[in-house]
Amino acid sequence: MRSPVRRVGESIRRHPVSWITWAVIIIGWEILAHLAPASTIENSPLVPSWEFVFTDALKQLSGSWTFDFWAPNPSRGGEETYFGALLAILYHSSQSLYRLVLGLTVGVLAGVGSALVISYWRFARRLVWTPLNFLRMLPLLAAIPLFQYWFGPTTMGTTVFIAFGVWVLLLVSTINAVNNVPDRFIESARTLGASRKRTYFAVIVPAALPELRTSLLLAAGLSWSLTVGSEYIGLGSGLGNILAVAEFFTNTGRMIIIAALIAFYALITFFFLDKFFKRLVSWVPTLADDSNVARVAGVAAIGAPADQPISG
Amino acid sequence: MGAEDAKRVGEQVRAGAVRVDHVSCVFEHRKGHLVNALDDVTFTAEPGEFVCVVGPSGHGKTTLLRVVAGLQPPTGGSVMTGERSVAGPGADRPMVFQQDTVFPWMHVRDNVEFGLLSRGASKADRKEQSDRWLKAVGLEEFADSWPRELSGGMRKRVALAAVLALDAEVALMDEPFGSLDYFTRRSLHELLLELWAETRTTIFFVTHDIEEALILADRILLLRSGKLVDDLRVSLPRPRDEDVRARSEAVELQKVILHHLGFGAEITDERSLRDEGVTG
């Protein structure tokens, strides 16, 4: 097994441009931090230096550790510690992840399931298509207060809200994926004697799956936005809540840490979701090669990678 | 089609035969422009015949095959197979398509068994049939492979096996080897003729390749602008290798085909051609 240092070395040799880009961003940020005008508020530089981010700002995160065990509780006059910061990150991350996984799972199952039912009956498709297109246009973040009014500022409310957003996305994209199944597969099945029901479940549904890859990755990105958004507006825990507190204290360093953490978690989510999906549709020729996190992240950001068809 | 007509046609059509009776197919394009894809086409394919439908692209070959398959309802006329009037697609007329239609999400064996499962065949029966046909097309070692692991020619063999496993009296083929290289195509011609000799399935084979039609057909139907312009019987001996296809009657037959389709030189002596075994 290769050591991590050797792997990084190989990666630098193979992808020098990516590493140079990261180096430019990190160095450029540091230069900007020194050029930016000083803030009038203590501990709130407009552009925080890396030193500030990884010392003061990181330690201040322990303010979000609100329990009286394992580490001092700064809200009760306790000292700010790195261990407290670590506990705060782990606790709030687990809260966000729990809501995200629950909402995403319910949303994906409900979205794909209801779309398959709707697609099977032409009448149902006609019935829901217009309201569905209206729902697509709904600015989801604007619906957060409504969901919190209905379900309260609770984990339940956030989960239902995430599931709703993912449901709308996957409902529309699954119906589209079913509509985009090449006629040749359907006609071939029919001439081989398959009934309408068998053609649907043995041919149309599996043929539609590869097109759902992009939507699934987009749903993962969306669910992170919805989780953080709803926590930011109304919940007392989660990474979104830390962001809200950081904003209250205009602590740009904490904002940077949480934003980077969310990006990291989103990348991990894409990676595992893509692994899972590739296993699900391992028969697709263009998905046969190994997962590439950078490309997958690109998929979520822009919809589809430019160099490779998603559906194969 | 009325009951009387059905009875009359049914009496004339034997099992395995296909009767295409005054079939027309008119498509409406944009701006109300009408296109006669098929114009009053009538013929009967006898049981066990290998019929090639030849014509330039866009002259109705595929439409004719789709009408026989039941994938395209005609705007006039009817199609009978055996005593049944064609009203939709069915396993009695399975089809090999021009495009790759092997289901990529199923293993090779599951593809071959697809039609059998649709018909409700038992697991043992399906296994027996798929073993037989995978061996017949030379893919017994690839039964558990994904289609993506096969070449284009091998996937065509899978499609062929899936169709022949149904043991239907009629099989339809729409330029099935059109996208393959010359050598793969030639080996598939040999395979198809072997399997046809074994099953004596009535085969409708659409192609725009005259050489392919000469290698395969008992009979060549020429379609031009949706009309059946000639119905040629090919009496060349089999196997029709390069030497057979270089014979004067084969060359003259090519000229007849080209002439009817609006290409090539005038036919020198059609009467002597008919005497030599090429009959229209």
Side-chain-facing half-sphere of A92: CA atoms under 13 Å: 30
User: Closest residue of A to B99, CA-based?
Assistant: A184
Which pTM does this prediction carry?
A: 0.79
Side-chain-facing half-sphere of B277: CA atoms under 13 Å: 11
Query: Tokens standing for A161?
Result: 């809200």
Mean pLDDT of A11-20: 87
Q: Residue A193: its chain B contacts at CB < 8 A?
A: 90-91, 94, 115, 118-119, 166
Q: Residue B175: its chain A contacts at CB < 8 A?
A: none
**pLDDT tier at B3 (50, 70, 90 boundaries)?**
very low
Ramachandran sector of residue B85 (left: φ over 0; alpha: ψ -120 to 50; beta: rest): beta
Mean pLDDT of B75-80: 93
**pLDDT tier at B221 (50, 70, 90 boundaries)?**
very high
CB A162 within 8 A of CB A105: no
Mean pLDDT of B52-69: 94
Q: Residue B69: its chain A contacts at CB < 8 A?
A: 187, 191
Contact A190 B118 (CB under 8 A): no
Tens digit of pLDDT for each residue in B227-279?
A: 999 999 998 998 898 888 888 889 999 999 998 888 765 555 444 444 444 44
Tens digit of pLDDT for each residue in A145-168?
A: 788 788 877 888 888 889 999 998
* Res B21 pLDDT > 90: yes
- Distance between CA atoms of residues A248 and A242, nearest Å: 10
Cβ of B94 under 8 Å from any chain A Cβ? yes
Contact A184 B146 (CB under 8 A): no
Contact B94 A281 (CB under 8 A): no
Contact B89 A191 (CB under 8 A): yes
| Lateral strand order in the sheet of B278-279 | B95-96, B170-174, B202-207, B50-54, B219-224, B227-234, B278-279
Cα distance from A205 to chain B (closest Cα, Å)?
A: 11
Contact A192 B71 (CB under 8 A): no
Tens digit of pLDDT for each residue in A103-122?
A: 999 999 999 999 998 888 87
DSSP B214-263: HHH-SEEEEEETTEEEEEEEE---SS--HHHHTSHHHHHHHHHHHHHTT-
For residue A161, what pLDDT is reported?
Answer: 87
Mean pLDDT of B110-130: 94
Interface residue of B98, B105, B116 to substitute, partner A, most A CBs within 10 Å: B105
Cβ of B146 under 8 Å from any chain A Cβ? yes
Q: Residue B148: its chain A contacts at CB < 8 A?
A: 283-285, 288
- Distance between CA atoms of residues B204 and B64, nearest Å: 10
**pLDDT tier at A286 (50, 70, 90 boundaries)?**
low
Contact A192 B146 (CB under 8 A): no
Q: What are the contacts of A148-152 at 24+ separation with CB within 8 A?
A: A148/A230, A148/A233, A148/A234
Contact B105 A190 (CB under 8 A): no
Interface residue of A181, A183, A187, A192 to substitute, partner B, most B CBs within 10 Å: A192
* Res B11 pLDDT > 90: no
Contact B94 A193 (CB under 8 A): yes
DSSP A117-136: HHHH-HHHHHHHHHHHHHHH
Cα Rg of chain B (Å, integer): 19
CB B192 within 8 A of CB B185: no
- Distance between CA atoms of residues A269 and A108, nearest Å: 14
Contact A192 B69 (CB under 8 A): no
Cβ of B114 under 8 Å from any chain A Cβ? yes
Longest dimension (CA), chain B: 59
User: Closest residue of A to B104, CA-based?
Assistant: A283
* Cis peptide, bond prior to residue A145, ω within 30 of zero: no
Contact A283 B93 (CB under 8 A): no
- Distance between CA atoms of residues A116 and A261, nearest Å: 35
Contact A191 B90 (CB under 8 A): yes
Interface residue of B72, B110, B114 to substitute, partner A, most A CBs within 10 Å: B114
Q: Residue A282: its chain B contacts at CB < 8 A?
A: 146
Compare A285 and A281 and report the one with higher pLDDT.
Answer: A281
Tens digit of pLDDT for each residue in B187-212?
A: 999 999 999 998 899 999 999 999 99
Mean pLDDT of B204-230: 93
* Res A268 pLDDT > 70: yes
Q: Are strands B170-174 and B202-207 parallel, antiparallel or unpaired?
A: parallel
Which range, A63-77, A157-171, B94-108, B235-249, has the best average confidence (pLDDT)?
Answer: B94-108
Cα distance from B87 to chain A (closest Cα, Å)?
A: 12
**pLDDT tier at B131 (50, 70, 90 boundaries)?**
very high
Interface residue of B148, B163, B166 to substitute, partner A, most A CBs within 10 Å: B148
Q: Residue A284: its chain B contacts at CB < 8 A?
A: 104, 148
DSSP B99-143: S--S-TTS-HHHHHHHHHHHTT--HHHHHHHHHHHHHHTT-GGGT
- Distance between CA atoms of residues B17 and B122, nearest Å: 29
At residue A306, φ and ψ (nearest 5 deg) are -75, -25
Tell me A285's DSSP state. Answer: G
Asked whether this complex has an ipTM greater than 0.90, the answer is no
Instruction: Select from B192, B158, B162 the least CA-distant residue to B94.
Output: B162
Cβ of B163 under 8 Å from any chain A Cβ? yes
Contact A191 B91 (CB under 8 A): yes
- Distance between CA atoms of residues B14 and B2, nearest Å: 20
Looking at A69-73, A113-117, B52-56, which range is the least confident one? A69-73
Q: How far apart are the first and last CA of chain B?
A: 30
Tens digit of pLDDT for each residue in B146-186?
A: 999 999 999 999 999 999 999 999 999 999 998 888 888 99
Query: Tokens standing for B133?
Result: 């046909």
Q: Residue A185: its chain B contacts at CB < 8 A?
A: 101, 103
Contact A191 B95 (CB under 8 A): yes
User: Closest residue of B to A209, CA-based?
Assistant: B105
